[in-house]
Amino acid sequence: MPEPAYPIATDRLDLRPFAEDDLDALYELHSHPDVARFMYWEPWSRGRALEGLGKRMQTRTLAREGDGLILAVVRRDTGAVTGEVLLEWASAEHRRGEIGFAFHPDHHGNGFAHEAAVEMLRLGFETFGLRRIIGRCDAANAASAGLMERLGMRREAHLVDNEFVKGVWASEYDYAMLASEWSARAAPK
């Protein structure tokens, strides 16, 4: 698959691969309890952030099934890394991907997650030729569920008590969008 031209610019943001000097921002993001709340892991240590940064720096495109492209989301006005967005190539046979996102609470409520996630959908459908992109979140995570709905993704499942996470049973919402739905959404009216 082709490597996207970086940075991917939106109205207010640049999406780009992580770099060595992003360690502090990545640590600040994933060590925050509100960010880790709905993740499978506890807040990160600095060592875990260093490991995570190394993994993020290794992938600049989706080359094979199972690859996950995680991009830093940078505010153009301040240069601050506000969060990250993910596009994973889940199945080559079915041309299926998955999106994900994490944003520092200091940047919530500004539409940055929506702006960045739209670009990840565009990348998945228009650059990588995916046919279907899914998104999943804890059913208690109203912000993530709301974001996927604002993106035009369809809630397809509510899996009740389907995973044991951090000592409790967690329910999950599954969302999806097809390439045909993306094209219809993106087409001029």
What pLDDT does 185 receive? 85
Does residue 127 contact residue 87 with C-beta atoms inside 8 Å? no
**Domain span holding position 177:** 8-186
The answer to whether 79 and 16 have CB atoms below 8 angstroms apart is no
Position 2 in a domain: no
Give this prediction's pTM: 0.94
pLDDT in tens, 131-186: 999 999 999 999 999 999 999 999 999 999 999 999 999 999 999 999 999 999 86
Picking from 132, 161, 136, the residue whose alpha carbon sits closest to that of residue 147 is 136
The strand order across the sheet containing 68-75 reads 8-9, 13-17, 68-75, 81-91, 96-103, 132-138, 168-178, 154-165
Q: Is there a domain that residue 3 lies in?
A: no
Checking if the pLDDT of 21 tops 60, the result is yes
162: buried, middle or exposed (CB in 10 Å: 19+, 13-18, 0-12)?
Answer: middle
Q: Check pLDDT > 50 for residue 189.
A: no
Total domains present in the chain: 1
Q: Which of 89, 63, 59, 77 is nearest to 14 (CA)?
A: 77
Give tens-digit pLDDT for 72-117: 999 999 999 999 999 999 999 999 999 999 999 999 999 999 999 9
- What CATH number is attached to the domain comprising 41? 3.40.630.30
165 lies in some domain? yes
Q: Give the distance from CA 70 to its chain's centroid.
A: 7
